[in-house]
């Protein structure tokens, strides 16, 4: 108990020290994200700040050793290492995919499967496929100021609430994740937001931050679902999930490479086509996710599989309809602008 109280006050101070040291090192060694034609920013910006995840893991492990699954730690270290290398020098998509698959397999095999109704390996395969989508969806959020941090914060705060009030299928109170580690990630994200949630961001998380944070959040999500048996909790990251999923479907329909960076996500269209401010769009996404999460958390869905699946279906369809209606609006705007420019050139 004494350790927990000390850690509550010491962890934020440690992140402040990390921020000062990392910014100094990044500027010295020019660890910058250089804007290209598809970028959502126009100036060189410090990247790789997502190393706060590994730093958080370090200080947590010093205070609370042996509190996390070893395979999860190994998977997180693997992903963060290859992702930070990719932030500095280009790493081929295929190599990154291999690391992602291996890390996700390591993470899922230590999850609690006692309440699942099917064999273990089909679940692991399904989790790996879903996990690859989650990792890459989060990876694309980092270019919009506040998008990654605010949405991750909403999800982590939902986990914090559920970690205090969740019950398993037998009605017993449970903690699906170590509360101090969850607290560490929340403080880390708040530190990142201090430098990123600005009209002109001072830092980006980089691949190491976006993919590392996605890995941690996905681990929390699966732990929650497997321990509570409530599949409706998938809606806790449904807003960005719907955007990513339908964007991938669109890219597949037009036969484009889904692994190549692009601006086809709705939140990027809102910025680049709709000319909306980064922070405004980030707040919209986080706000909608907060509303969806609050509804899912308050619904009494325990022991009601049909109700869970119904809520999951209705939520998914509703968000998909909202996505399609907004996307069509901005697609039409883009077509109209293109036609107007063509007519002016002819005249």
Q: Where are the domains of the chain?
A: 2-33+41-346
Largest CA distance in the chain: 77
Q: Please answer whether residues 97 and 82 qualify as being in contact, where contact means their C-beta atoms are separated by less than 8 angstroms.
A: no
∠ Cα 165 76 278 (to 5°): 75
Which segments of 175-236 are extended strands (E)?
A: none
The predicted structure's pLDDT at residue 251: 77
Output the six-digit token pair for 82.
């290859």
pTM exceeding 0.85: yes
d(CA 47, CA 50): 8
Pull the structure tokens for residue 323. Answer: 């996505």
| Nearest alpha carbon to residue 139 among 246, 240, 289, 22 | 240
| Whole-number pLDDT of residue 342 | 46
259 φ, ψ to 5°?
-95, -10
Closest C-alpha to 225, from 68, 117, 76, 148: 117
CA separation for the pair 237, 150 (Å, rounded): 12
Model pLDDT, residue 42 = 57
Give the pLDDT of the chain (347 residues) as one tens digit per residue: 678 889 999 999 999 999 999 999 999 999 998 765 455 555 788 999 999 999 999 999 999 998 899 999 999 999 999 999 999 998 898 999 999 999 999 999 888 765 555 677 888 898 999 999 899 889 888 878 999 999 999 999 999 999 999 877 677 788 899 999 999 999 999 999 999 999 899 999 999 999 999 999 999 999 999 888 889 999 999 999 999 888 888 877 877 776 666 677 888 888 877 888 999 999 999 999 999 999 999 988 777 888 998 999 999 999 999 988 888 876 655 444 444 544 444 44
Nearest Cα to Cα of residue 282 among 191, 169, 153 = 153
Residues 147, 283 contacting (CB under 8 angstroms): no
Which pLDDT score, from 0 to 100, does residue 117 have? 53
CA–CA distance, 332 with 264 (Å, rounded to integer): 14
Closest-CA residue to 160 (of 236, 226, 215, 267): 236
The pLDDT, as a whole number, for residue 346 is: 47
Identify the DSSP state of 35.
-
CA 121 to CA 94: how far, in whole Å?
A: 23
So what's the pLDDT on residue 306? Answer: 86
Closest CA to 120 of 110, 132, 131, 130: 110
Residues composing the chain: 347
CB burial readout 30-69, b (16+ within 10 A) else e: ebbbeeeeeebbeeebbbbbbbbbbbbbebbeeebeeebb
SS3 32: strand
Q: 184 and 60 in contact (C-beta within 8 Å)?
A: yes
Q: Would you state the pLDDT for residue 162?
A: 95
């Amino acid at each position: 108990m004494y350790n927990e109280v000390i850690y509550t006050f010491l962890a934020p101070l440690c992140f402040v020290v990390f921020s000062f040291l990392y910014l100094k090192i990044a500027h010295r060694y020019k660890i910058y994200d250089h804007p290209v034609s598809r970028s959502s920013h126009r100036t060189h910006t410090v990247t790789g700040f997502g190393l706060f995840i590994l730093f958080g893991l370090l200080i947590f492990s010093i205070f609370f050793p042996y509190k996390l699954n070893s395979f999860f730690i190994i998977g997180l270290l693997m992903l963060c290492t290859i992702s930070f290398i990719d932030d500095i020098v280009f790493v081929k998509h295929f190599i990154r995919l291999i690391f992602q698959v291996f890390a996700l397999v390591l993470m899922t095999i230590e999850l609690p499967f006692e309440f699942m109704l099917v064999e273990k390996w089909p679940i692991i395969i399904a989790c790996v496929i879903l996990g690859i989508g989650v990792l890459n969806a989060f990876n694309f959020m980092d270019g919009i100021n506040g998008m990654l941090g605010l949405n991750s914060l909403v999800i982590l705060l939902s986990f914090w609430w559920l970690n205090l009030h969740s019950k398993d299928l037998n009605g017993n109170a449970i903690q699906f994740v170590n509360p101090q580690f969850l607290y560490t990630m929340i403080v880390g994200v708040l530190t990142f937001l201090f430098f990123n949630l600005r009209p002109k961001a001072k830092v980006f998380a980089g691949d190491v931050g976006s993919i590392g944070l996605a890995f941690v959040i996905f681990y929390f999500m699966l732990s929650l679902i497997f321990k509570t048996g409530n599949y409706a909790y998938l809606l806790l990251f449904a807003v960005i999930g719907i955007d990513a999923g339908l964007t991938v479907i669109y890219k597949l329909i037009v036969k484009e490479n889904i692994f190549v960076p692009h601006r086809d996500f709705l939140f990027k269209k809102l910025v680049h086509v709709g000319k909306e401010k980064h922070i405004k769009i980030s707040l919209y996404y986080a706000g909608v996710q907060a509303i969806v999460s609050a509804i899912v958390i308050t619904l009494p869905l325990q022991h009601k599989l049909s109700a869970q699946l119904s809520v999951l279906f209705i939520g998914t369809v509703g968000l998909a309809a909202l996505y399609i209606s907004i996307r069509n609006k901005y697609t039409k705007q883009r077509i109209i602008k293109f036609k107007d420019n063509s007519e002016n050139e002819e005249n």
